[in-house]
Amino acid sequence: MALNDTPRDGFLERLHAVRERLDHLATSTYAPDARTDPDPAGSETWHAGNVFAHIGEFPAYWLGEASLIATSYTGYPVPFGRTKKDPHRREAIARDASHSPQEILTSIVPDLEALRTFIADLPAAGWEAEGLHETLGIMPMPRIVDEFLVGHLEEHAQQLELLLSRS
């Protein structure tokens, strides 16, 4: 994969845009009883505090996993990840749900900057790396960055926008 063939620029643009959306959403007021729709095939719903708490915990985790894949890949998918049932994920969401959205976003600025650097500096070989997730199977790096990092931030920004419209 040549440098120009990587999804780098698209991910960087999307990351910048979602950071602006989250900055705006962090200063918004949400109705305390507004809840997200459940995940497909799930029943869990969240209030805005839960969504922000999750935003506060997942970028560092998934960036660590993506970095491990990029540096460990030798032609065979690298085992990685967790599922929604992971106790550390669930504990962080419950623990931090009462923190202010601005406090959470401020705390993850270094993580989002590290993500920007990871995307900007990932060599072509890193974009070709693959991970093996226990439930999703073999995933190429662009899908990992989309599903667990940039796209994941966008998904939760969309949830917050929906909660805001319900407030």
User: What would the mean pLDDT of 141-149 be, rounded to a whole number?
Assistant: 97
Q: Domains of the chain (ranges plus CATH)?
A: 3-165 (1.20.120.450)
Residue type, 68: L
> Mean pLDDT throughout 90-103?
93
pLDDT tens sequence across 21-48: 999 999 999 998 899 988 877 788 999 9
pTM: 0.92
- The CA distances from residue 136 to 39, 54, 122, in Å, are 16, 20, 23
pLDDT at 2: 47
User: Would you say residue 5 has pLDDT above 90?
Assistant: no
